[in-house]
Amino acid sequence: MKPEALDFQAGVDALRPENASKHLDFFGKLLVDNREMTIWEHDTRLLPAGARIWRRRARDFARRYIRPDAARADSLPREYDPRPIVSQAARKGFQNLLLALPLGTAFPGSYFFKSASFQVAVVAEEFAAESGGIALLLMAHHLGCAPLLLSGHVPTILRHLLPLYARTLRGRPEIMAFAITEPGAGSDVEETEGGARARLVTTARQVDGGFVINGRKCFISDGAIADKVTLFAKLQGEGLESWTCFLIEKGMEGYSIGRQEHKLGQRASDASELILDDVRVPQRNVVGSLRSGWANNRNVLNYSRPVVGAMALGHARGAFERALEFCRNTLLGGKRLIDYQDIQIELADMMIKLWSARALIWHSCSQFRCYQSASAAAKVAASDISFEVCTKAMEIMGDNGYLESRGAESLWRDSRLTQIYEGTNQINRLAVIEHQWAEMSGSLFSG
């Protein structure tokens, strides 16, 4: 390097905040944060102790167990055996997070002062940063468990949820799935007006000792591998207002798995059709009260949407990290890509978006009860940001971006689903408005 270049570099180094702040007085230095710490670490330290622990555990688990399986699970989903990773996650306590210790594995502080979803969302981001499919495979289980908990029906919780969690802790995990979508009704059943007009066919007929259910559900995540499914059906001769949740168990006569979809991404988790042909369900498998299904379903979505947002955020963070690595390792014109200011601006823009999504997600599940507007807003914002950031990550990498070996394109494919499931983002926008609009007058934000 020429002497004048060395002088310039020395001048630049002297102006860097960490060096310049040495000239501050003692108290001034105390007020400057020059710790060498990643953003991940900064954010982790914002969390209450329990969530902080789960965030660290989840990152370690994702790197150790999910990362090695990610490419294979995406490229050969039909050959991928999900049981080992489910068992491993269960052993580590990741599958019992919907209840606080000692009944589940969530830490009570974060559980009661935040919400039941908070620690799940924190974990979801870490898993999804490595593989969208495996993250969904593990997270769909919580969605399946949620109606049992949110029914608020103590016999249901005692009869079904607690034994399930106990078996999981004893090393015999069961996979749960959640089934609301039908071929003729997708996002309809995730919104009030749509629900009123939805054409649902799955029907439960009351018989001695229980119900007989007929119908079909589609696009059910983990449907093919689930041991049990919380499934919603209307009562015979009634409309959606009669929706009731039933616990369907693998092996019940008349219950079978139909078509398994071929998806753009999130392939490690199957999206399957469930066929119910005169399935006899005992009374004890009714989740909560009769006709409580619609309310339960809507509340499940309030708790699950922040988690979907967190998964979307994870995909985007994963793609960002791969783009960052690419920019560090790729030379252009004798310089690393990351040394170009226009690339820095792009990366910074992506970071800002990731940060804002995380802030909204954590905000949306920071109260004991998740509520509709905030949950839906977090899901919409995070999934839109995710797809945008993943797209930018691929763009920054140019032609390398669309090569499977670079890892960003699979996360891009994964992220696109988050704009669709758990209600399309169009439906979720209506949910943001509906919750406030119908009940309140005046300003929504200033009280």
Partner 1 sequence: MDLSLYAREGEREFVELTRAFVRKTVNPMFGGDAPDGDLDRVPSILDAAFEVGIAASPRSGMPGFEYGIWGTSSDNPGGVRLSAILLSIVAETCAGIAMNLHVQGLASRVITSSENDLPEPPARVAVALQEGHTPPCYRALLGQGGRSDEGIGTRAIPAETGWVISGSKSFIYGMEGTDAFLVFCSTAEHHGGENPGCLLVPAGAQGLEVRDIGGRTGIRACGLSHLALKDVKVAPEHYLSSGEAFSQVGQAVCLHWLGISAIAAGNASGALKAAREYAAVRYQGGTTIEEHPAVRKLLALSEARVEAAFALLLQTAGFASGNADFLRRCAITKLMTTDWAFSAVTDALQVFGGYGYMEDYGMEKRLRDAIVLKTTAGSRNYMETFISDAGRGEIR
Site residues (vs partner 1, CB under 8 A): 75, 181, 184-188, 193-194, 197-199, 218-219, 261-265, 271, 330, 332-334, 337, 340, 342-343, 346, 387, 391-392, 394-405, 409, 412-413, 416-417, 419-421, 424-427, 429-430
Rounded distance, CA 327 to CA 337, Å? Answer: 5
Instruction: Considering the complex, state which of residue 303 and residue 412 has its C-beta at the smaller distance from partner 1.
Output: 412
Instruction: Considering the complex, state which of residue 285 and residue 425 has its C-beta at the smaller distance from partner 1.
Output: 425
| Least distance to partner 1, CB of residue 335, Å | 8
Rounded distance, CA 139 to CA 127, Å? Answer: 9
| Least distance to partner 1, CB of residue 131, Å | 16
Strands 244-249 and 331-332 come out as unpaired
| Least distance to partner 1, CB of residue 231, Å | 17
- Unique residue bearing structure tokens 């609009």: 437
Instruction: Considering the complex, state which of residue 73 and residue 164 has its C-beta at the smaller distance from partner 1.
Output: 73
Strands 271-282 and 255-260 come out as antiparallel
Strands 228-235 and 176-179 come out as parallel
Phi, psi of 274 (to 5 degrees): -110, 130
| Least distance to partner 1, CB of residue 133, Å | 13
Instruction: Considering the complex, state which of residue 158 and residue 348 has its C-beta at the smaller distance from partner 1.
Output: 348
Amino acid at position 84, single letter:
P
Q: What is the CA radius of gyration of the chain?
A: 24
| Least distance to partner 1, CB of residue 427, Å | 8
Instruction: Considering the complex, state which of residue 176 and residue 396 has its C-beta at the smaller distance from partner 1.
Output: 396
Contact 34, 17 (CB under 8 A): yes
Instruction: Considering the complex, state which of residue 250 and residue 263 has its C-beta at the smaller distance from partner 1.
Output: 263
Residue environment code for 235-244, b if the CB has 16+ CB neighbours within 10 A, otherwise e: beeeebebbb
| Least distance to partner 1, CB of residue 399, Å | 4
| Least distance to partner 1, CB of residue 426, Å | 4
Instruction: Considering the complex, state which of residue 200 and residue 252 has its C-beta at the smaller distance from partner 1.
Output: 200
Secondary structure of residue 131 in the 3-state scheme: coil
| Least distance to partner 1, CB of residue 177, Å | 15
Rounded distance, CA 104 to CA 93, Å? Answer: 8
Give, in order, the Cα–Cα distances in Å from 366 to each of 204, 305, 306, 359.
37, 13, 10, 10
Instruction: Considering the complex, state which of residue 7 and residue 261 has its C-beta at the smaller distance from partner 1.
Output: 261
Strands 286-287 and 203-207 come out as unpaired
For residues 121, 123, 127, 129, the Cα torsion angle rounded to the nearest 10 degrees is 70
Instruction: Considering the complex, state which of residue 114 and residue 392 has its C-beta at the smaller distance from partner 1.
Output: 392
Give the count of alpha carbons within 13 A of 365, CB side only: 31
Amino acid at position 400, single letter:
N
- Unique residue bearing structure tokens 């995380």: 358
| Least distance to partner 1, CB of residue 197, Å | 4
